[in-house]
Amino acid sequence: MSNYRCGYVTIVGRPNVGKSTLLNHILGQKISITSSKPQTTRHRILGIKSTGHAQVIYVDTPGIHTQARRAMNRYMNRVASASLQDVDLIIFMVEALRWTDEDEAVLERLQQTKAPVLLLANKVDTVSDKERLLPYLQKLTEKGSFIEVIPVTATRKADISRLEPVVERLLPEQPPVFPPDQLTDRSERFLVAEIIREKLMRRLGQELPYALTVEIEAFSAGESGLTRIAAIIWVERSSHKGIVIGKGGKQLKTIGEQARKEIELLLGTRVFLQLWVKVKEGWSDDDRALRSLGYSDEN
Query: pLDDT by residue (tens digit) across 133-146?
Result: 999 999 999 998 89
Regarding whether 148 and 25 lie in a shared domain, the answer is: yes
The confidence band for 205, taking pLDDT boundaries of 50, 70 and 90, is confident
Regarding whether 103 and 245 lie in a shared domain, the answer is: no
Question: pLDDT of 123-173, one tens digit each?
Answer: 999 888 888 999 999 999 999 889 999 999 999 999 999 999 999 999 999
Regarding whether 43 and 149 lie in a shared domain, the answer is: yes
Is 202 part of a structural domain of the chain? yes
Residue 207 has a pLDDT of 65
Mean pLDDT, the chain, rounded, equals 91
Measure the CA dihedral 166/141/150/184, to 10°: 60
Is 230 part of a structural domain of the chain? yes
Write out the residue range of the structural domain in which residue 92 sits: 5-169
The confidence band for 66, taking pLDDT boundaries of 50, 70 and 90, is confident
Is 83 part of a structural domain of the chain? yes
pTM of the model: 0.90
Is 115 part of a structural domain of the chain? yes
The domain tally of the chain equals: 2
Residue 1 has a pLDDT of 60
Regarding whether 242 and 104 lie in a shared domain, the answer is: no
Is 299 part of a structural domain of the chain? no
The confidence band for 76, taking pLDDT boundaries of 50, 70 and 90, is confident
Regarding whether 225 and 133 lie in a shared domain, the answer is: no
Residue 178 has a pLDDT of 96
Q: Which residue has the higher pLDDT, 85 or 2?
A: 85
Q: Which residue has the higher pLDDT, 49 or 34?
A: 49
Regarding whether 100 and 223 lie in a shared domain, the answer is: no
User: Given 109, 138, 169, which residue is the final one in a domain?
Assistant: 169
The confidence band for 200, taking pLDDT boundaries of 50, 70 and 90, is very high
Regarding whether 116 and 64 lie in a shared domain, the answer is: yes
Regarding whether 110 and 165 lie in a shared domain, the answer is: yes
Q: Which residue has the higher pLDDT, 71 or 230?
A: 230
Regarding whether 164 and 27 lie in a shared domain, the answer is: yes
Regarding whether 146 and 243 lie in a shared domain, the answer is: no
Regarding whether 164 and 192 lie in a shared domain, the answer is: no
User: Given 114, 142, 169, which residue is the final one in a domain?
Assistant: 169
Regarding whether 283 and 155 lie in a shared domain, the answer is: no
Calculate mean pLDDT across residues 3-14.
Answer: 94
Calculate mean pLDDT across residues 67-82.
Answer: 83
Question: pLDDT of 210-258, one tens digit each?
Answer: 789 999 999 998 778 899 999 999 999 999 999 999 999 999 999 999 9
